Amino acid sequence: MTDYPLMIRQMEALAEISADRIAVMANVSALLYHAMENVNWAGFYLVKDGALLLGPFQGKVACVKIEKGRGVCGTAWAQDRVQVVDDVHAFPGHIACDSASNSEIVLPIHRDGAVIAVLDIDSPVPARFSKADVEGLINLAAALEKIIE
């Protein structure tokens, strides 16, 4: 089981050195990728020029640009809601950057009330993300939003 409170403390400690958004997101990507079991991609897409642009991540190469409302990430952004997908192959319009991915969770990241990025985590395991993961990641995202304000 992932220790989200510990990961949040680690993120906050790393951010004391620099609260630069990109640096913090890079470290969060690494923390998630190495702390969570059965994850094959963890990272961010940043809202830029009306689309999601690839940001800091850990894992295989990824899609560079995602339109609002497209795929799981674009849907999370458009709806401003956490998306938990147990089977990405059944998700309408799923963008398959890595064919090994079978489940996914995406969380919007806010600044001044607007979505500025999404946190995307993929897994090769179907239905990988539990209620505990959702709760832990929502808490992590909230802590991240306070850091990058």
Ordered structural domains, the chain, with CATH: 4-147 (3.30.450.40)
Q: What does the chain look like in DSSP terms, one character per residue?
A: ---HHHHHHHHHHHHHH---HHHHHHHHHHHHHHHSTT-SEEEEEEEETTEEEEEEEEES---SEEETTSHHHHHHHHHTS-EEES-GGGSTT---SSTT--EEEEEEEEETTEEEEEEEEEESSTT---HHHHHHHHHHHHHHHHHT-
Q: What is the pLDDT of residues 94-135, one digit of tens each?
A: 676 767 888 999 999 999 999 999 999 999 999 999 999 999
Is the model's pLDDT at 38 over the cut of 90?
yes
Q: What is the pLDDT of residues 131-142, one digit of tens each?
A: 999 999 999 999
Q: For the whole model, what pTM was predicted?
A: 0.95
